[in-house]
Structure 1
Amino acid sequence: MGVRKAVVLGGYGLIGSACMRALADAGFHVTGIGRSESAAMKAAPSADWLIRDIPDLTVEEWRRLLADTDVVVNASGALQDGARDDLVAIHVNAVSRLVEAAAGLSLRIVQISAAGVSKEAPTAFFRTKARGDAIISAHATDWVILRPTLVLSHEAYGGTALLRAAAALPLTAPRILPEAQVQTVYVGDVATAVVATARGEVPSGLIADLTEPDAHAFPALVEAIRHWQGWPAPVFHPVVPAIFMSAMGRGADLLGHLGWRSPLRTTALTALRDGIRGDPGPWDKADGCPCRPLESTLSLLPATRQERLFARAYLVLPIAIATLALFWCLSGLITLFNPAQAVLVLTSRAVPAWLAELAVIGGAIADLFLGLAILWRRWTRPAALGMLCLSAAYLIGSVTFAPDLWADPLGPMVKVFPGMALAAMVWLLMEER
């Protein structure tokens, strides 16, 4: 028997990347599929990749891809509709084409779903996931559906990143959704379950939650993460009103249209409010390896200095982006509101009027453009770099045409440097997952 082949959809995601590593370690030849080449190379530069947007794959393309494949692991998904995501396209249409292409082939489909999915669920995420699960269970020949609860991993993304950040708040531990009950699962246990399923060690037709046995109140879970990270006990425990959380969710939804996949979107908050619960019984009865409890999971994830720095950086980054957007937009608008005064600053220093007007109007428009562009996820890094370059141009121009401004008691030129440092921080910290 030759080397068995596996295809992992969403291979550079939190769960997908763990599945790719585990399957490769188990002797499978693994191909990952995802739409971002840069993210794929960061996740597994030596792996085989098909760089495609999964919903765009046709039935014929699926058939060619699956011709010599033994197992397909669908770890792709999106939390909420937005500028970059279409839930029906990824959770329903793509699954339908995959199942149609797999008809008549000797392969197993392993669907990574989510605990709590149902067609009557309050969020589109759970409803569309349930529709995809139903397509597989009704039409696929050999299939297993695994439904993990909140996945904890060495990597931090989405809800797990927010959990780390909330635990890292200095001096305070806000009481958010105190009634919410959450169960967790170690990403390694999910990957182990996928390998066992890919090997045929569990029967076809199994639908099973992957979860620890016990649930935790959400504030207690945040407290456990805080203790694991090594932060001192909080001094304040303010209660966050539900209306405030709802407003934050709606704001995060709006940012989703600019490409931001915030874990504070209403889908995530609704899921937390309703609780993330699962039943480990079906998986245990299928002779699957039991999923470890939270304490054991955290013991496998050492909280290093890098972990703490990430948690604090995750808190600071959106503040830095918002600050830069406000600063640059106001700078441009104030200049455009009274350009004559800005032109006078240059013409009084022997700068030709045409050049002064060009520099003032052009600079104001550039300021406004960069301030808006940094809010669009796709352009955040280029905009931050543009802010650095334009700030440097302003500094050079001031030295050339208005060196006396450097001696101004209010320090207008010296104050450019903190803004440049903030833009440099955003440029360095922003990356694709």
Structure 2
Amino acid sequence: MITSTNPRILVLGASGLIGRFITDDLRQRGCATVGVARAFSPSQRVSPFDIELPIMALDAPALASLIRAHEIDVVVNCLGVLQDGPGSDTTAVHREFVARVLAAITACGRRVRFIHISIPGTADEDHTAFATTKRDAERLIASSGVAHAVLRPGFVIAPSAYGGSAMVRALAALPVDLPAKDAATPFQPVAVADIAATIAWLAMRPIDDETTRAVSWDLMQPEAMTLGDVVDAFRRSFGTMDWPRVAVPAPLINLGAFAGDLCSRLGWMPPMRTTAIAELRRGVRGDPDPWIAATGITPTTLDDAVGTHGATIQDKWFARLFLIKPLIIASLVVFWVASGSIALLVSFPATTAILTTRGWPDWFAAPFAAITSMMDISVGVLIAFRRTAAFGLTAGILVSLGYMLGCAILTPDLWLEPLGALVKTGPAIVLMLVALLMMDNR
């Protein structure tokens, strides 16, 4: 039975924006909290109670064993994916996994409360796989007979930023504006600290308390707000409120979402994808009164959630560079693939002539030119895929340094070439270094 002093809590998806915050918050409140995720970044590995497991591969018996092994009283599910793609299956994550967790709780031999993070809205507003599978999970939970709480946070504002929250910061930090229709979308926010406080409050309730045995709450500020209001709050923090801005045409946003979908096929997780834009335009709204009345929690205001003090320089740099990062990656991919392809397919005779006129034999010059051209193309392809991007960037830096050193030894006159091709390699190396240092997502 859940005690009122020190419940044992299992957080599934403890590496994400919400999961990481509530795991740390619950521990600070004295709750024995086990965080589970497929992988934690090096900076997140701060506790021996953070466990890396192939969480989506665990069946119901394995999950039940995990619950029993750690004597868990409360399971909090923070897992979610935005859109179907390589390594992301909305049905598997939102519906099938929840079904296994419910089966595990039923079979584990313990009295366990299940707290599930869902999304605001109603079924008649659900038009994406993300939303419909989230709603399917809610129906499974409601019919399970398990003591549960379904929490539907609004737009989450947290000290860290990821996905949509990072995108809002980027909009606030740059001289751009949303189309008027999108800016007017209802958008009720919630501070992540309020979500953590709600989970802590629920965890302290006796599982026999009928008033909290089966609840579904919208967690958000009660004041009506728009997406434009939320962006403006960050603009005030960044000091960009009075900047002149250029409105982004809606077709350009749609094009960016389509490009984001293509990038997701390469393993990247851009925040701007078709599902993200569809959900943004649907809006974020709900009725937080039942939540406020039951818990007595006073929702943090938007200005307090964003921060009453000005943004730090770290905040500003991140927001300004967030949308520049994909541009850097894309430009490096094009740079390497195009330069290698041109040298191999378009100007191969000229490439080999540069070497033969400097005394290199034909039998060596042609293979050398072909190999280096294909190497350039390979570097670009490696950078294009998220899984190999860091290796590709490192290889690109080493290859560029090799070109510079090799030319200095073998063909030093190329340094004086009128267009300064070798001189421009230095800035390219710096750009690859910048991209390499920006690879972390969490």
What's the TM-score once normalised by structure 1's chain length? 0.94
Q: Residues 61-72 of structure 1: matches in 2 within 5 Å?
A: 61-67=62-68, 68-72=71-75
Aligned to 2:141: 136
Write the distance in 1 (CA, Å) between the matches of 2:360 and 2:74. Answer: 70
The farther-off stretch of 80-89 and 118-127 is: 118-127
| 2:376 is aligned with 1:373 | no
Cα distance change of structure 1 residues 406 and 420 upon mapping to structure 2, 3 Å threshold: same
2:435 alignment counterpart: 426
Counterpart of 1:45? 46
Equivalence for 1:24: 27
Runs of 5+ consecutive residues of structure 1 not aligned to the other structure: none
Q: Report what 2:268 is aligned to.
A: 260
Bigger mean CA deviation after superposition, 47-56 or 129-138: 47-56
Q: What residue is the counterpart of 2:372 in the other structure?
A: 363
- Secondary structure of the corresponding residue to residue 156 of structure 1: coil
CA-CA distance at 1:402 after TM superposition: 0.6
SS state at 2:151 partner? strand
Question: How far off is 1:232 after superposition?
Answer: 5.2
1:324 aligns with 2:325: no
Q: What letter is aligned with 1:173?
A: D
Counterpart Cα distance in 1 of 2:33 and 2:124: 32
Q: What is residue 306 of structure 2 aligned with on the other side?
A: 298
User: Any idea what the Cα deviations from partners look like across 1:331-383, whole Å, max 9, x if unmatched?
Assistant: 01101113221111112112233332232111111111221221211122111
Q: What are the Cα deviations for residues 120-139 of structure 1, in whole angstroms up to 9, with x where unaligned?
A: 61111111111111111211
Give the structure 1 partner of residue 39 of structure 2. 36
Within the candidate set 111, 114, 139, 1:106 is matched to: 111
Structure 2: give runs of 5+ residues left out of the alignment: none
1:396 and 1:140 map into 2 onto residues whose CA distance is 70
2:93 is the alignment partner of 1:85: no
Correspondence 1:5 to 2:8: yes
CA contact (8 A) 2:162 2:441 kept: no
Change (3 A) 1:264 1:213: same
- Asked if the contact 1:147–1:208 (Cα under 8 Å) also holds between the matched residues in 2, the reply is yes
Distance 1:237 1:405, change over 3 A: closer
Shift of 1:268: 1.2
Native 8 Å contact 1:211 1:280 kept in 2: yes
The answer on 1:183 being equivalent to 2:192 is no
SS of the aligned residue for 1:15 comes to helix
Q: Distance in 2 between matches of 1:107 and 1:256?
A: 37
SS of equivalent to 1:200: coil
Name the CA distance, whole Å, in 2 between partners of 1:383 and 1:300.
42
Q: Which moved more, 1:281-290 or 1:208-217?
A: 281-290
- Asked if the contact 1:119/1:128 (under 8 Å) is kept, the reply is no
- Cα 1:100–1:119, aligned 2, differ >3 Å: closer, same or farther? farther
Tell me how far apart the structure 1 counterparts of residues 38 and 364 of structure 2 sit (CA, whole Å): 46
Q: Cα offset for 1:63?
A: 1.2
1:121 is aligned to: 126
Partner residue in 2 for 1:354: 363
Say which SS state the counterpart of residue 233 (structure 1) adopts. coil
* Structure 1 residues 197-216: aligned runs within 5 Å: 197-200=202-205, 203-216=212-225
**Letter paired with 1:356:** A
Q: Which residue of 2 aligns with 1:15?
A: 18
1:241 correspondence with 2:241: no
Given that residues 179 and 273 in structure 1 are in contact (C-alpha distance below 8 angstroms), is that contact kept between their aligned partners in structure 2? no
8 Å contact kept, 1:6–1:72: yes
Residues 80 and 124, structure 1, Cα contact 8 Å, conserved in 2:
yes
Question: Equivalent residue for 2:58?
Answer: 57
1:287-320 deviations in whole A, cap 9, x for unaligned? Answer: 3412122122123675111000111111221111
1:392 equivalent to 2:405? Answer no
Partners of 1:117 and 1:127 within 8 A in 2: no
Match of 1:333 in 2: 341
